[in-house]
Structure 1
Amino acid sequence: MASKVTLLTKHIIIRLHRIPKIVAWIFPRRIWFAPNDNVCLTFDDGPHPETTPWLLAFLKKHNIQATFFWQGEKIKENPALYQKAISEGHVVGHHGYVHVSAKQLSFERFCVNFDQSQTLVNSTLFRPPHGRLNRKQANYVMQKGIIVMWSWMSYDFDTSLSADAIIQKATKQIRNRDILVFHENEKSKDKLKQIIPAIIKVIRDKQLNFALVEKKQ
């Protein structure tokens, strides 16, 4: 019986690559979309000592700027990568000092985690880990900066999802004004080198441009 239940559970897993528009309507003070005729590439969880250098070189070669949401503790470990990203025209927001869901933190611990990473970037952009914030936490962030969400999630961190499957979803689903999320971490590092070149081709084939997440549109 246990094996049947496990099999059934696997079959009903649903990954919402595209965020329903009603969610953006419910939370209008957060950024969900790119400027018109543009797509924003965004990357969470870095900087990563292996992935980030490759990614920065690839983006530079293709004349694309991206928006990064990096963890404070990793910025402190890799300050040269932070400076390189900034010098090459990218925007670096933050993702908390350590990567932990706000749901797991008291309000006081959340504020400390937020403030520690906010001081390490020259940006007011913040993406909450897992996209989770309660009302009190969200209000605290919005007093100091801007909450950036997304309209399309790659799930590149999901080890059960192949690079080809992600690319197929992207080809069908990416559209005008999307903010796309990818990750610079151990789970995604091998897939990212396959995914990003393909995604860029998809976006350019759809005659869309690349934009930075900079302010409320």
Structure 2
Amino acid sequence: MRGLICPFALFVCFVVGCSPAEEKAVMKEVEASETAAQKVYRGDRQNQATEQKSDAFWKRASVEVYRSPEELLAQDARERRHGLVLDKIARGPGDKHELALTFDDGPHPDLTLKLLALLKQENVKATFFVIGKMVEKHPELLKAIAADGHTIGNHTFSHVTLTKIPVADIQVEYRANNDIVKKTIGQNMKFCRPPGGDYDSDVIHAAEACGLTTVLWTDDPGDYANPGDNVIEERTLAKLTNGGIILLHDGVKETLDVLPQIIAYAKKKGFSFVTIDEFSKK
């Protein structure tokens, strides 16, 4: 029913009848819904979601929802059982000894350049799912990511849980990020990742409408919680499989510290590293 409350209220008023005061209240709700997107995206100016703090949808959306690899796999299985085919990449080709490193939530002012230096030293290309409001604050870091040849993906503008906001605002979140990235480096993004991996068919279709394919993951060591170097390494290495998509985060020092060991182990086991863009072409 997300995004259908206001039209339904209008329908009730039309069929059943409303008092002038009730009709005015319904129209006010409709106007609020129609202008909600403008609070996030207003012309050429992208705005942080803090302007949405008084909005009920955004209060819920600000609480991040997390989906584990097992939950994502179960959701995919349910979709297949019901014949639901959604435009998403859950993993790469199973017949290729390849892995994709992905980094969410950047660019980060303290650690992105160090991460780029490490990846260059290891001769590894990765995929960075960037947040629009972070790009707006640190455009030079996005330029550095692009200059090093990494794939850049859309992680929304405000980093909100997309299943908790109106459908129209999902597109707004993706579009605002598309625009700031295009303005900064002149590139159109092809891939996106919903925060927390929380998605439904509305989220996938909204991404498609913005020219984006949704990317999930097979391997998540939970580095965002800073569990410790050893824990991140052990969790990551325990689940390496052909076509694996590894979820890590830009801005986590523990990840930066342990990444050389992860890359070295994977290479020793015969894996090579590719970007999501390369996965999509196979």
In the alignment, does 2:238 pair up with 1:180?
A: no
Partner of 1:72: 132
Partner of 1:11: none
C-alpha contact (below 8 Å) 2:88/2:204 kept by paired residues = no
User: Aligned match of 1:138 in 179, 187, 204?
Assistant: 204
Structure (1 or 2) with the larger CA radius of gyration: 2
The amino acid across from 2:128 in the alignment is F
C-alpha contact (below 8 Å) 1:41/1:67 kept by paired residues = yes
Partner of 1:30: 88
Please give the alpha-carbon distance, in whole angstroms, between the structure 1 residues aligned to 2:74 and 2:168.
30
The amino acid across from 1:145 in the alignment is L
In the alignment, does 2:236 pair up with 1:170?
A: yes
The amino acid across from 2:90 in the alignment is W
What is the CA-CA distance between 1:62 and the residue it aligns to? Answer: 1.2
Deviations 1:159-198 (A, max 9, x none): 4x2221121122222122100010124xxx2212222112
C-alpha contact (below 8 Å) 1:31/1:147 kept by paired residues = yes
Partner of 1:105: 165
What is the CA-CA distance between 1:51 and the residue it aligns to? Answer: 1.2
Partner of 2:116: 56
Please give the alpha-carbon distance, in whole angstroms, between the structure 2 residues aligned to 1:31 and 1:132.
14
C-alpha contact (below 8 Å) 1:18/1:153 kept by paired residues = no
TM-score (norm 2): 0.65
Residues 17 and 111 from structure 1, CA distance in 2 versus in 1: closer, same or farther, beyond 3 angstroms?
closer
Residues 99 and 213 from structure 1, CA distance in 2 versus in 1: closer, same or farther, beyond 3 angstroms?
same
What is the CA-CA distance between 1:68 and the residue it aligns to? Answer: 0.4
Structure 1 outlier segments of 4+, above 6 Å: none
Residues 132 and 22 from structure 1, CA distance in 2 versus in 1: closer, same or farther, beyond 3 angstroms?
closer
Residues 130 and 216 from structure 1, CA distance in 2 versus in 1: closer, same or farther, beyond 3 angstroms?
farther
Please give the alpha-carbon distance, in whole angstroms, between the structure 2 residues aligned to 1:142 and 1:109.
14
Residues 67 and 165 from structure 1, CA distance in 2 versus in 1: closer, same or farther, beyond 3 angstroms?
same
C-alpha contact (below 8 Å) 1:71/1:98 kept by paired residues = yes
C-alpha contact (below 8 Å) 2:163/2:203 kept by paired residues = no
**Structure 2: which 5+ runs fail to align?**
1-66, 80-84, 182-186
**Structure 1: which 5+ runs fail to align?**
1-14
In the alignment, does 2:264 pair up with 1:206?
A: no
Please give the alpha-carbon distance, in whole angstroms, between the structure 1 residues aligned to 2:242 and 2:132.
31
Residues 20 and 116 from structure 1, CA distance in 2 versus in 1: closer, same or farther, beyond 3 angstroms?
closer
Partner of 1:4: none
C-alpha contact (below 8 Å) 2:167/2:206 kept by paired residues = no
User: Aligned match of 2:253 in 167, 174, 190?
Assistant: 190
The structure with the largest helix share of the pair is 2
Residues 177 and 74 from structure 1, CA distance in 2 versus in 1: closer, same or farther, beyond 3 angstroms?
same
C-alpha contact (below 8 Å) 1:67/1:91 kept by paired residues = yes
Residues 114 and 23 from structure 1, CA distance in 2 versus in 1: closer, same or farther, beyond 3 angstroms?
same
C-alpha contact (below 8 Å) 2:129/2:154 kept by paired residues = yes
Amino-acid identity (%): 26
Residues 124 and 108 from structure 1, CA distance in 2 versus in 1: closer, same or farther, beyond 3 angstroms?
same
Let me know the Cα RMSD of the aligned residues.
Answer: 2.0
What is the CA-CA distance between 1:145 and the residue it aligns to? Answer: 1.4
Partner of 1:94: 154
What is the CA-CA distance between 1:20 and the residue it aligns to? Answer: 6.5
Please give the alpha-carbon distance, in whole angstroms, between the structure 2 residues aligned to 1:176 and 1:18.
17
User: Aligned with 1:142: secondary structure?
Assistant: helix
